[in-house]
Amino acid sequence: MDNLGQALLMAAGMFWQTGWTLVLGFTVSALLQSVVSTEQMRRALGRDGAREIALASLAGAASSSCSYASAAIMRTLFKKGAALTTSLAFLFASTNLVLELGIILYLLLGWPFMAGEWIGGLVLIAVMSVIVRLTYPKRLAEEARRHEEAGAGHQHMSMTVEGATLREKLAKAETRIRIAQNFSMEWSMLWKDLAIGFLVGGLLSAFVPDTAWKALFLTDASPWLKVPLNALLGPLIAVLTFVCSIGNVPLAAVLWGGGASFGGVLAFLYADLIVLPLLDAYRRYFGWRMAAYIGGVFYVTMVIAALVMDLAFTGLGWVPDHAGDVRAHLTHFALNYTFWLNLGFGALAAYWFWMARKHPMQHGHGDHGGGEGRHAHHHG
């Protein structure tokens, strides 16, 4: 019972330390979804050149941080004509370069992990682009575009405000309604993953002894053996946890506290796109052969990127040590800046939920900006 109490306290502490960042990130994401349509992105991403990949990365960084929603947008972009490389670049950017993910990593693990996630996101896109160019399955890609989907799930359509310019869109009262609707939709897609992530992180920190983590991650082994094996192991742990998107950050904190290498933790964080439910979503979207290709490319990309970041940060002396009690830090509650930020952003979240309840989103309608739905809710 003492361990269970510690697990729940740890879960509550992780949520307390990161709560305001979620509201901030969801608000920024909801704003951008309200003024930029999927159709606009698709028209800009038809080729796989450096310019298009850069645009896809920027669009992904400004998009939803929910892995399921990002996969649904990628599906729409690819099937409507976007190149495979740019579609996958959007997917990597939307789950590695988003604002709230970096802030949460900074709060839970420190700036090296925030930098490792954001810089590593660019490395992921570069490595993936090279691998796809070298192995591009042209026939398989065309089959995937034409693949008939079955059981696509309940669609949540993101509504884009009409207007000739960004300034005109922002001036409309309708924009606040759209932000509230998209904010509410984003939360509805992510709260379960977040809750599971916090709870599983708390349980693992309380019930799994440090000796087990040290043995799993070969803490006492030579770096020449430990670093590559941790990079190979990190994504496999992520696949088996079923927790994706921001929900795997608390687990990353537990792995780091247990002795995983810097690259191993980054590989775990990068691997939110190959958890089993998402691999199944790729199968439904594109067929099992394309799903296997995407899963294989992603795994190799994540391992290589994690190794590159580990070697680079080690060479620069930026890898933090494991000193310090992660549990004590995450379960410290006080009347500090976190309290006031949670209070202020909590009020903002309440306003968005009230506005969304007052103006409920109509399901099953197209994007007001001319695009397909920007989100598909595939949880459960």
Reading the chain (380 residues) residue by residue, the pLDDT tens digits are 887 887 788 778 778 877 787 788 778 767 877 776 666 666 677 677 888 899 888 888 877 666 777 787 788 788 878 889 999 999 999 889 988 788 888 888 889 999 999 999 999 999 999 999 999 989 999 999 888 876 444 444 456 777 767 778 877 888 888 889 888 887 886 677 677 777 877 787 778 777 887 788 888 788 889 999 999 999 998 887 766 666 678 778 888 888 889 999 999 999 989 988 788 889 888 999 999 999 999 999 999 999 999 999 999 999 988 655 556 666 667 788 788 988 999 999 999 999 999 988 765 444 443 333 434 444 43
pLDDT at 365: 42
- Residue 55 pairs with which residues in a beta bridge? none
- Which residues are 376's β-sheet partners? 155
Residue 162, SS3 per DSSP: coil
Give the model's pLDDT for residue 371.
39
pLDDT 10s digits, 148-171: 876 444 444 456 777 767 778 877
State the Cα–Cα distance between residues 83 and 74, nearest whole angstrom: 10
**Among 294, 273, 313, which residue's Cα sits nearest to residue 116?**
313
CA-to-CA distance for 316 and 307, rounded, in angstroms?
A: 14
Q: How many residues does the chain have?
A: 380
Give residue 320's Cα distance to chain centre. 23
Q: What amino acid is encoded at 174 in this protein?
A: E
What are the tokens at 293?
């290709």
CB burial readout 200-214, b (16+ within 10 A) else e: bbbbbbbeeeeeebe
Please give the full DSSP string across 288-343, using - where no structure is assigned.
HHHHHHHHHHHHHHHHHHHHHHHHHHHHHT-PPPS-S-HHHHHT---SSHHHHHHH
Crossing angle (nearest 10°) for helices 99-109 and 111-135: 130
DSSP conformational letter for 259: T
* Beta bridge partners of residue 375, listed in sequence order: 156
Q: How far is it, in rounded angstroms, from Cα 23 to Cα 70? A: 18
Bridge partner residues of 156 (DSSP)? 375
The C-alpha atoms of residue 158 and residue 141 are separated, in whole angstroms, by 27
CA-to-CA separations, 155 to 26, 185, 257, in angstroms, rounded: 19, 11, 39
Residues whose CB is less than 8 angstroms from the CB of residue 33 and which lie 6 or more positions away in sequence, other chains included: 63, 64, 158, 160, 178, 182, 374
Asked whether the beta carbons of 49 and 57 are under 8 A apart, the reply is no
